[in-house]
Amino acid sequence: MTIPASWYLIVAALLFGVGAFGFLTRRSALIMFMCIEIMLNAVNLTFVTFAHSLKDIGGQAAVFFVLVVAAAEVTVGLGIVVAVFRRRSSTAVDELSELKG
């Protein structure tokens, strides 16, 4: 008997939780981007698990597009990190408080 889908779904939920916690607590913009990747991958795992259990390739096609969007997002995001680092010499998001009222 194969592993039930719910096991993978629970692991994906835990993985998303770890990524979300890291995103909320870490200061470095680079680490926050890595946490976004972890969360995206947790969702990808959910998609693939459902594609497997529901016998539907649509879930895998969705993961394909998530991959493309994640690649684009990382490219632009790291470009922003580089641009901010030029000004601030730091990747800490606490430094970006110019709009504080």
Partner 1 sequence: MLATYAIPDVIVFVVASALMLVGAVLVITVKNPVHSALSLIMTFFGIAIAFIELDAHFLAAVEIIVYAGAIVVLFLFVIMFLGVDRPDVDTGEPLVGQRPLAALGVLITVAGVVVMMAHSHWVTGASSASTNGIPSQGGNDNIKALGTAVFTTYLYAFEITSALLIIAVVGAVILARKERSLDLVGEDA
Q: Which of residues 30-89 bind partner 1 (CB under 8 A)?
A: 30-31, 33-35, 37-38, 41, 44-45, 48-61, 63-65, 67-76, 78-83, 85-87, 89
* Three-class HEC string of the chain: CCCCHHHHHHHHHHHHHHHHHHHHHCCEHHHHHHHHHHHHHHHHHHHHHHHHHCCCCHHHHHHHHHHHHHHHHHHHHHHHHHHHHHHHCCCEHHHCCCCCC
Under 8 Å between Cβ of 42 and 12? yes
Q: Which of residues 1-20 bind partner 1 (CB under 8 A)?
A: 1-3, 6-11, 13-20
Closest distance of CB 23 from partner 1, Å:
8
CB of 98 to partner 1, least distance (A): 13
Choice between 3 and 99, CB closer to partner 1: 3
> Smallest gap, in angstroms, from Cβ of residue 16 to partner 1?
7
56 token code pair: 């539907």
Number of residues that bind partner 1 (CB under 8 A): 73
